[in-house]
Amino acid sequence: MPAAPRSSGKAMAAAAVVVTMLLSTAAVAAAQHDYGDALHKCILFFEGQRSGRLPPDQRVRWRRDSGLHDGAAAGVDLTGGYYDAGDNVKFGFPMAFTATLMSWGLIDFGRSFGPHKEEARKAVRWATDYLMKATARPNTVYVQVGDAFRDHSCWERPEDMDTPRTVYRVDPSHPGSDVAAETAAALAAASIVFRDSDPAYSKRLLDRAVAVFEFADKHRGPYSSSLHAAVCPCYCDYSGYQDELLWGAAWLHKASRRREYREYIKRNEVVLGASEAINEFGWDNKHAGINVLISKEVLMGKDEYFQSFRVNADNFICTLLPGISNHPQIQYSPGGLLFKVGSSNMQHVTQLSFLLLAYSNYLSHAGGRVSCGSSPAQLRRVAKRQVDYILGDNPLRMSYMVGYGARFPRRIHHRASSIPSVAAHPARIGCKAGAAYYASPAPNPNLLVGAVVGGPTDASDAFPDARAVFQQSEPTTYINAPLMGLLAYFSAHPNPADSGGD
């Protein structure tokens, strides 16, 4: 990644101009959004993704119990957790990342959640309860339930699924440092979330995180090698496992304050590539997130030991501002949407916007700016512009969140949403029988309220609202997870010029 320009009067002026230009790209005048309503719906989406036995307070009523025998064939209880997207497989890697990001939002912006804080914690706990089951056996992490290839050959409701619920795990003979360390990160981050509201649960989460991280570090290797046929290409880890080890250690340091994790991070900073591929952040690549997370220690005056991470984070933030570094992998559409070439672009939008907001928060407390000159308020404006684009301030005047606004995607790539519910159609709908619903041009019969779809994937700001175009029409848990923190912050601070953190 190219280094950010040195700070100067010209650079600072250029940064201000760039942000102003970015904010002026909206094709329509920005509306005053109800961020609190969007937050409520963003959290509600996770109830539509639940697997297992649904609780009495389930609000997404068109869903029913599913996957009640998950893990039984392997002699372990793996019921619960989340389906990651529009299919019926439980992938542990993105589920753990989802839990980590939901927790990070609550940790940094908890007060801004207001009346939605408890439902947000419940969303985290639905994931962590499952991850605790998946790590109950020492030196073992159950990382997937369901045969992805067989599942993807069907279009059926989770309540009807009859494809193999094959269980996959990593262990000392079949290492998976990436998925295990991400799981440790999720448990450690959640332990902070529950520290005050449920201290006993918080301690169990942290104790398990310590054990799972020790396993990940001791038995090194990518799970994509151990379980290639099962996890690739869906959630193959292309960036390697090194970033997850640093990420897991960073969260364990934050949760436990143990010196051993501080030393681990510094000792392995170069070996595990802390400064590599920092233009990325997502379920596969944690480098940018590592540097932003650890930089808080420096900016809050707690640990100059990590100064190099702050430099990395500064450089990363500058790559997100068009005209500053002109990084080829990060671009903006004419309508103002950040996009990276590939599919499911909204995952990049929400994840990178969250890092912008988190870093602006740390800078605000420290009274600082990024090295290329932008102020914390300017970073918040860029993040808010992305949130507003999602909610409808875009050339199509369409919200990309189902159920928010007057116009939103109606034909999302999601099995349960697109097939009549059990209440409406009690008889089983088999594997191939669901194909008629997949091919239908009719809107989905069930609204998966709060789901944010993949959205525009290039510079055209176009969206077909077609079930078959899964790259644009499929929602995922890891699109919504960082959006929770963003929406919470802007519900409490609708004016990005506000000085403050949470």
Tell me the catalytic residues. 413, 465, 474
Bridge partners of 169? 142
Are 356 and 422 in contact by the 8 Å Cβ rule? The answer is no
Residue 20: count other Cβ atoms within 10 Å of its Cβ. 11
- Tell me the C-alpha distance between 459 and 457, whole Å: 7
How many CA atoms are closer than 13 Å to the CA of 375, on its beta-carbon side?
A: 13
Angle CA 71–470–427, to nearest 5:
55
- Tell me the C-alpha distance between 83 and 145, whole Å: 10
Nearest Cα to Cα of residue 393 among 32, 28, 37, 42: 28
> From edge to edge, which strands make up the β-sheet containing 141-145?
90-91, 141-145, 167-170
- Tell me the C-alpha distance between 223 and 250, whole Å: 21
Angle CA 102–135–97, to nearest 5:
25
- Tell me the C-alpha distance between 315 and 1, whole Å: 8
> Got the DSSP string for 5-39?
PPP-HHHHHHHHHHHHHHHTT-SSPPP---HHHHH
Encoded tokens for 229: 């046929």
What lies within 8 Å, CB to CB, of 49 at 6+ separation is: 82, 83, 84, 477
Encoded tokens for 26: 């909206």
> Got the DSSP string for 46-98?
HHHTB-BSPPTT---TT---B-TTTTGGGTS-----B--SSSS-EEHHHHHHH
Residue indicated by tokens 């995922």:
476
Are 251 and 296 in contact by the 8 Å Cβ rule? The answer is no
Phi and psi, residue 176, nearest 5°: -155, 70
- Tell me the C-alpha distance between 294 and 313, whole Å: 9
- Tell me the C-alpha distance between 400 and 418, whole Å: 17
Task: Put residue 428 in one of left, alpha, beta given phi > 0 → left and psi -120 to 50 → alpha.
Answer: beta
Are 300 and 364 in contact by the 8 Å Cβ rule? The answer is no
- Tell me the C-alpha distance between 226 and 279, whole Å: 27
